[in-house]
Structure 1
């Protein structure tokens, strides 16, 4: 796994080196290098959502009339729904030892996977673009810091962490959790005190004109639900990237539960705080709002809250860069065979970093950070829903976890073909079926509302339609698959190369 001997400490049992630069990228992880632990998955995904960015998901409901309480309920239900898909994807990592998007070649083909790779690259880079814009806006408003310098100061250490790779990512997430947990605990106590007693923060200007209280509306409730669901469905392409170093015999049920609990608990927590900030403080900039809450706790505490918030968020930015790097390499490898060397990984990371910095600076200068976030969350969900439905249907109901792992890396004469017609057709059918149900809003302004969504008063059910249609379409199209032939090929591979086994009769 590791290739830099003078920076490593070897495991006395396996001989695997720990603490150095990761040696793998999109390739298969051998059994003797599966040294990760199940106990790290829950805290890892808890921290992934335990960020100021997740709070902004709670801004969606109040921006269209939903109260903090109803925002919390809708956000909690949505985050739990989205985490279900994310968690089930996580079980693929230890079972196959592959990054998520390499495994998608089984459904979409060696080259056909480029369709979903572009969608997932949009997600990985897009998250960091919005993150950077929010940080640039917040730190400019609070401390008048230069936005370009902020973007570079945040991106550089995150990029180094992404280059160091898997083990370093897990370490950084652990320390970030130690930093952020007590601080966000204090913020939560402050918010609860004001929420329960309905006491205004000291920083709220006295004599300000009171605004009408927010309430409930089905359209706003479903919009908040969809935003929260999309947030964790968007994690689906990530999870195997960080679970593939777990031992092959890791219990799937326990892994799914660990990912689900970690990601959904922190997500619901942060969305609740975000909903309160948006409802009671009318916040549109999360860092400014956190500074206000911190300053109400103690003089100077606002700056501490903001500083720790940014510092604890660096590993999440690194995670986005890391997964975007894997997606970029997979995309190139689909058309031109790539050697998985450290140089290749660094070049892919540079490409991702330059892309996200350029787009983030462009959006920042437009002054539309929050509106871009709202639109991005919805559009992201539209692109990912057909993929996650096809991928999970194939893994759990069609091939049931049985794959010819070496064939994922064969450009020609592989079991899955260059263009996986079944997966691509199901993806397109699912996406097209969603269009009449699209409901994209910029606050209360319409961006695009499909005819069926308009007929239902602007309710957005596109994601639900896409899940069922894509999954059912793929299952129907897969009835013609020659699974007996695939089983014979897999059995031959496992006989000659037992490290590639995926279970005698499949695990699902």
Structure 2
């Protein structure tokens, strides 16, 4: 490694306002994040009308307001627990989540898992776009195609400018949205938001478990990229502080708005979250519905930018797994543009059945991601206990982690396969065991338990002592390396020096 002058954080992590880091390691001199920002960031991530639509799932299956709210609380707390534990990995390792997953699945093996995460990011943006364009068309009569394209451009710009831009936008949206929803919720509690006697008062285990699954999957699907937004925190940040900040932020807003969505569905007969939000808001005072609905639209577009950003990291990780990639600014911009074009095209071809599309998408995401999150967390907290040779994760040969890790891949495959007999995709597929259970979907829970248990069992043969030499060497290299200012020609010159 060549010694160079250590630059300031501003010059090394951003060029012209655009973040230069992507799938590479974030050196400690560039760590400028704060734990205090994590809670509001993830609070806002769920503080828009997409979350309200999650509260429609139970009522659409005949579940009452109270039971929908209870199921939402159970599901959100369960799903957020996994998401929050992943957040602590970003500060400790300074890496995007999928780069760290090379330790469990191998340098190239991780590409198989990347397919599931790629489907998640694009799927979320497709559903977001369908919900937004249909809602804005229903309220203001705006052209669906124009709205779809315009939102994609704005979200893509957020993703291109990257980490700091997203944190800033989310913070601004948080301060604008919070008082609006407080006013609306207060109006609901005092009977000033319209509505009638509940039209849905039933209960069924199928609907109750379905609402739990939809709510759990909502925050579990953040797991593949939550550490992407904590990797700029100082390495000595206490894991407990990150976990609690993310847990409180992501769960509190989701519980709030899922319950609000259940009220809109059972009291207003709502089937479109944005239209219902507008209707309830205008009952408070004329024009308030437009204000609160547009604020929610901006928050959701910001979340689409977040999805696009992590989708870019996922794609670059996949390419780098087979052909060593220099993650320049041009690479990130072109990748984001390509991703935006894909979700825009898909969105324009999607049906307008928002609730059905939403529920099916969340369910598929849950089946794909649960085995991965189980393997990753078991490895990080129980097997390797946060001890990794970071530089080996960038070695084209895989270093001590190899090109393909059979333990992780086998555990993931088994966890996914055992899900199938328990799976329920309404109007598409119901597994034989799910039929025996009356259509109750516990496939995601089975996949979680099985994949984590299989990985823990297979890891008993892992020689962790043999990894200590590589870990010690990696730590010494990371401490000694002086970070050069990234340029268009070379975004990660020092990491290249490390593994060469």
Which residue number corresponds to residue 379 of structure 2? 394
Is 1:57–2:54 an aligned residue pair? yes
Map Cα deviations across residues 472-501 of structure 1 (whole Å, 9 max, x no partner).
Answer: 10111112222111112212232344369x
Q: Residue 386 of structure 1 contacts residue 470 of structure 1 at CA under 8 Å; is this kept in 2?
A: yes
User: Alignment length, in residue pairs?
Assistant: 475
1:105, CA displacement in angstroms?
A: 0.6
Partner of 1:411: 396
Matches for 1:454-493 after TM superposition, within 5 Å: 454-493=435-474
1:427 touches 1:470 (CA, 8 Å); kept in 2?
A: yes
Closer/same/farther in 2, CA of residues 286 and 17 from structure 1, 3 Å limit: closer
Q: Does the CA contact (< 8 Å) of 1:31 and 1:499 recur in 2?
A: no
Aligned residue in 2 for 1:147: 144
Deviations 1:127-175 (A, max 9, x none): 1110000111111122221111101221212211111111111111110
Q: Which ranges in structure 1 are unaligned for 5 or more consecutive residues?
A: 1-8, 205-209, 501-508
Q: Is the 8 A contact 2:107 2:398 kept in 1?
A: no
Taking the aligned partners of 1:19 and 1:88, their CA distance within structure 2 comes to: 33
Q: Is structure 2 residue 285 aligned with structure 1 residue 298? A: yes
Assess if the C-alpha contact under 8 Å between 1:11 and 1:18 holds in 2. no
SS in structure 2 opposite 1:415?
Answer: helix
Task: Report if the CA contact (8 A) 2:83-2:219 is conserved.
Answer: yes
1:225/1:371 CA distance change after superposition, 3 Å:
same
Which residue matches 1:381?
Answer: 366
Corresponding residue for residue 343 of structure 2: 356
Q: Which moved further from structure 2: 307-316 or 241-250?
A: 307-316
Q: What is the aligned counterpart of 1:94 among 88, 91, 94?
A: 91
Partner of 2:200: 213
The counterpart of 2:181, out of the listed 168, 180, 184, is 184
Equivalent residue, structure 2, for 1:433: 418
- Say if 1:372 and 1:349 are closer, same or farther in 2 by CA, change over 3 A: same
User: Where do residues 9-408 of structure 1 align in structure 2 (5 Å cutoff)?
Assistant: 20-194=17-191, 200-201=194-195, 213-363=200-350, 366-408=351-393
CA distance 1:311–1:251, shift in 2 (3 Å): same
- Tell me, in whole angstroms, the C-alpha distance in 1 between the residues paired with 2:326 and 2:287: 51
Give the superposed CA RMSD: 2.0
Alpha-carbon distance in 2 for matches of 1:254, 1:310? 30
Tell me whether 300-309 or 117-126 shows the greater mean CA deviation: 300-309
Question: Could you state the TM-score of these two structures normalised by the residue count of structure 1?
Answer: 0.90
TM-score by length of 2: 0.91
Output the CA distance in 1 between the equivalents of 2:463 and 2:101.
18
Q: Distance in 2 between matches of 1:452 and 1:159?
A: 42
Give 1:193 deviation, angstroms. 2.6
Asked whether the 8 Å contact 1:18–1:167 carries over to 2, the reply is no
Q: What secondary structure, in the 3-state scheme, does the structure 2 residue paired with 1:187 have?
A: helix
Output the CA distance in 1 between the equivalents of 2:225 and 2:13: 24
Partner of 2:401, secondary structure, is coil
Say if 1:315 and 1:212 are closer, same or farther in 2 by CA, change over 3 A.
Answer: closer
- Call closer, same or farther: CA 1:75–1:19 in 2, change over 3 Å: farther
Whole-Å separation in 1 of the counterparts to 2:476 and 2:152: 46
Aligned partners of 1:179 and 1:312 also within 8 Å: no
| Mean Cα deviation higher: 154-163 or 381-390 | 154-163
Structure 1: how far apart are the matches of 2:415 and 2:398? 29
- Counterparts of 1:38 and 1:305, CA distance in 2: 28
Distance 1:368 1:56 in 2: 12
Q: Relative to 1, partners in 2 of residues 1:496 and 1:331: Cα closer, same or farther, differing over 3 Å?
A: closer
Q: Secondary structure at the match of 2:428?
A: strand
308-317 vs 291-300, greater mean Cα deviation: 308-317
Name stretches of at least 5 consecutive residues in structure 2 with no aligned partner.
1-6, 482-500
Matched with 1:4 is: none
